[in-house]
Structure formats: C-alpha cells, structure tokens
C-alpha cells in the first residue's frame, strides 16, 4: 500500500473518527493552536447527546476552540478536564463556580518538561487528537506549532486521530509523524487561532528596558509569555549573534531573526537553528515558521531539560511572576486564592540558565497589582512556590534589579524591599 492509499483508507469525518469512544476514557488534545476544532466539536456533540460520560480530558493551555466545544460549562459533568496550565478559558469557568460546589476543573500540577513522561508512563490514554500540517510526498506530517508533549502522547495513546489543516505550518526538527502511525484522519481547512501581544504598560516598558540592558551580544534567549518579553525583544535589534533556545516561539523572537540580531552562531547545541517546543502568534508568524529550515521544533522534555539548556553559554531566561517573597521565592501561578495558570516551564529555564556558563535567570514583575493597591513583593507568598528561593537569580521590577545569588536572607530582604513600590517599603521593612 502506498502512503497515498494509506491516507485515503484512514480518511473519515470527525464523527466517524471518534465513534466508539467509551465513557470513562482518558483522552488528550493538542495544546494552544494545535487544538483540533472539528474533532473537539465531535466530542462535544457526543457528550451533549449523552453518548459518552465521565470523559477525562488531559491538556495544557486551552484556547477558544476548546472553550466553545469540550470546555463548555454545560458539558463539564460529562467531560472532566484534567488541566495542567490554566488559561482564560478555565479562569472564567472557575470564576462562575458556585460557593461550596466541586471545582469544574481538576488542576494537575506538573512541570511542562515532565508532561511527556506523564503520558508515556502514568496516564493510559485511550485517544489523542491534534492538528497537524499536510502530508508530504513521502507520507510524513509534522506536529506544526505544537511539539511539546504531542509527539509522545500521539505514540502512547491507544488511538491517534489527526486533523489535517493546510494552514498549520510544516516545521523542521523532531516533529515528524508518518501516516502509518495514524488511526484516522480528518481534513479541516480553517484559519489557525491567532494570538496578538497585549499592550505594554509604562511599568512593563521600564522593566523591559532594565532587562534589555542585561542582554549582551551572543546571548542565548528564552522568553516567556505576555507583553513583557515582547517589549524586551523590541529593544534588542542592535545585538549581534543572539541565539534562541526557548519553550515558546513568538513573533517577537521571530522579528529578531528577521532583522539579523539572531544568527544562532554562538550556540553550542543546534548551531544556526532556533529551538522551540511550541509556538503562538499571528498569520504572518505562522507563514514565517512554515518550511523554514532555521527553525527547529523538539519535544518539551528535550527543549526544557535544564541539563540540555545549560549546554549553551550565556543563556538569558526571562519569565514573569505574580509574587516574590522577601527570601526570593516566587509564586507565578496562584492568585486571589485560586490557581491562575501553572508552573509551566519556568523552573526548568531558571535552572538551565543558572547552570549555563555566563547565564542569567531573570524573574520580572511590576511592583504592584490591582491598580497599585497590592504589593507583589511580600513577606510570605499567598500560593505555591513556583521557583524556590535557592534557584532565584535576578529579580526585576520598575524600581530596578537585584542579584540574589550569594546573599543572606537579610540581604535579600533589603534588596527586594528596594524593588517594591515606595509606599509599601516601610510596611515590608517593619514586618521583618
């Protein structure tokens, strides 16, 4: 059988592709822009009709397609989310939760780097669904914007169903999937979900300028999600021979490649290529990724492995946090008594940058929240520790930066109080 024949024999409608799924099954979906809209719609229809119940849905970072289908509030009795990183979809569902009722979202704490192992060793998946790029003439698809845990989950699940979308970029790297590995194929030509960078506040612009001043020529960059990393990238156009080894690839990082600031020639691993595990952006960004041999997609257990990150010199990791206590511990995932996001890959890159020769791990935040009424520098964290104080290196707010390495607890407290908003400094100092 040729690969064309194999493709045709597996081609089905979305409804046909998920037919036979049993109640109580464990399924996982591709994350972010790899969510397969038609397949998720078919699963939602089955739940709405009562054809399936108690469906355990595993995933990181949902977007609108999931919110409009499998994460609809009226289906959460039959579909039970096992979420490992909350987005606005889950926060809205949790916000509507009635007092005293069971949470509609089961949050599963796990490092992003450990998620492939979760699916290969700890969760027995009955089904994995994701969006892939079209098959080439040799019978190979790619996982496109979402390598992350998808390459492992796809090969660990009892059944693999893919949604082929011609708008999904074809990427280079360890992202190939052969038609012989797939149980069912559906086709769906719709635009990919787009993500646009939020506006930068004046405080974030100040923080970005401080961070950009720490990034030298030949640094290897990891940038987190949000307005701040984009603002930092916008200030690096005059750097030379930057490299990229990042969890998330964004238009802001792509712009540094396009302007020539990133060459990846100073890297130790994957020299000449920008390494990432998932990507989100706009249409122009997806076009940039498509068939671009300078972009290297790899699974998250490789990209986020601190030992692998540290092989490069001068790694600069930039991530945001919600709170920093006076010892330097960071809560980057819990807000107002609720889980807000997840640990993601922050600690992976904090440790990777710390272990890199000449590396800098930077944790950044505005000094206040809630329109200046709450300090983000606090005596004690209100939630879990995302980055332990032993690992925190550089903390930045709009009032400056502090290198915590080698400092005692009292020295750390003094330095961090200096980064707090002036109106909270006396209160913080008196609380020591």
- Cα–Cα distance, 262 to 238 (Å, whole number): 10
SS3 120: helix
Tell me how far CA of residue 338 lies from CA of 73, 371, 392, in angstroms.
18, 19, 23
Q: How do 55-59 and 79-83 pair as beta strands?
A: parallel
Q: Extract long-range pairs of 413-422: CB within 8 Å, 24+ residues apart.
A: 413/326, 413/327, 416/324, 416/326, 416/328, 416/377, 417/326, 417/377, 419/367, 419/377, 419/395, 420/367, 420/375, 420/376, 420/377, 421/367, 421/368, 421/372, 421/375
SS3 268: coil
Is 277 in contact with 297 (CB distance < 8 Å)? yes
Query: How many helices (H) and strands (E) in the chain?
Result: 16, 27
DSSP assignment of 315-344, as one string? EEEEEE-SEEETTS-EE-SEETTEE-S--T
Q: Is the sign of the CA dihedral 55, 59, 61, 65 positive or negative?
A: negative
Is 31 in contact with 61 (CB distance < 8 Å)? yes
The residue with tokens 């169903």 is 161
Give the closest residue to 40 by CA, choosing from 22, 57, 54, 23. 57
Strand partners, 29: 129
Q: Which of 90, 163, 247, 333 is catalytic?
A: 247
Give the closest residue to 261 by CA, choosing from 296, 300, 291, 220. 220
206's enclosing H/E stretch is: helix 202-212
- Cα 136–chain centre separation: 28
Q: Is 247 a catalytic site residue? A: yes
- Give the tokens for residue 406: 């080698």
The residue with tokens 């990034």 is 215
- Cα–Cα distance, 309 to 247 (Å, whole number): 10
Catalytic residues: 247
């Amino acid at each position: 059988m040729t690969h064309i024949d194999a493709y045709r024999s597996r081609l089905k409608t979305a409804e046909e592709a998920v037919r036979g799924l049993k109640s109580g099954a464990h399924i996982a979906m591709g994350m972010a822009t790899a969510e397969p809209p038609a397949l998720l719609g078919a699963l939602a229809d089955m739940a709405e009709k009562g054809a399936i119940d108690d469906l355990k849905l595993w995933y990181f970072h949902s977007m609108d397609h999931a919110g409009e289908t499998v994460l609809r509030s009226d289906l959460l009795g039959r579909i039970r989310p096992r979420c490992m990183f909350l987005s606005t979809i889950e926060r809205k569902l949790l916000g509507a939760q009635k007092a005293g009722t069971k949470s509609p979202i089961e949050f599963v704490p796990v490092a992003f780097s450990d998620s492939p192992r979760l699916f290969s060793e700890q969760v027995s998946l009955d089904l994995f669904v994701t969006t892939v790029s079209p098959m080439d003439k040799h019978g190979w698809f790619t996982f496109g914007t979402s390598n992350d845990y998808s390459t492992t989950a796809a090969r660990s699940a009892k059944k693999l169903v893919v949604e082929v979308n011609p708008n999904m970029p074809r990427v280079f790297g360890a992202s190939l999937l052969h038609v012989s590995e797939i149980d069912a194929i559906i086709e769906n030509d719709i635009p990919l979900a787009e993500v646009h960078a939020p506006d930068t506040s004046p405080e974030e612009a100040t923080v970005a300028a401080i961070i950009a001043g720490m990034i030298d020529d030949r640094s290897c960059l990891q940038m987190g999600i949000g307005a701040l990393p984009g603002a930092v990238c916008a200030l690096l156009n005059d750097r030379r021979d930057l490299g990229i080894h990042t969890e998330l690839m964004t238009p802001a990082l792509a712009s540094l490649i396009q302007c020539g600031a990133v060459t990846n020639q100073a890297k130790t691993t994957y020299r000449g290529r920008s390494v990432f595990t998932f990507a989100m952006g706009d249409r122009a960004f997806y076009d940039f990724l498509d068939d671009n041999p300078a972009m290297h997609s790899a699974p998250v257990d490789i990209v986020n492995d601190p030992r692998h990150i540290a092989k490069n010199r001068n790694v600069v990791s930039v991530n945001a946090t919600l709170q920093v206590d006076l010892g330097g511990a960071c809560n980057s995932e819990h807000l107002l008594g609720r889980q807000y996001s997840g640990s993601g890959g922050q600690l992976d890159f904090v440790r990777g940058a710390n272990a890199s020769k000449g590396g800098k791990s930077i944790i950044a935040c505005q000094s206040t929240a809630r329109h200046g009424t709450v300090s983000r520098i606090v005596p004690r964290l209100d939630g879990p520790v995302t980055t332990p104080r032993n690992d925190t290196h550089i903390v930045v707010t709009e009032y400056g930066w502090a290198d915590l390495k080698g400092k005692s607890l009292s020295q750390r407290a003094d330095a961090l109080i200096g980064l707090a908003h002036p109106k909270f400094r006396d209160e913080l100092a008196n609380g020591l």
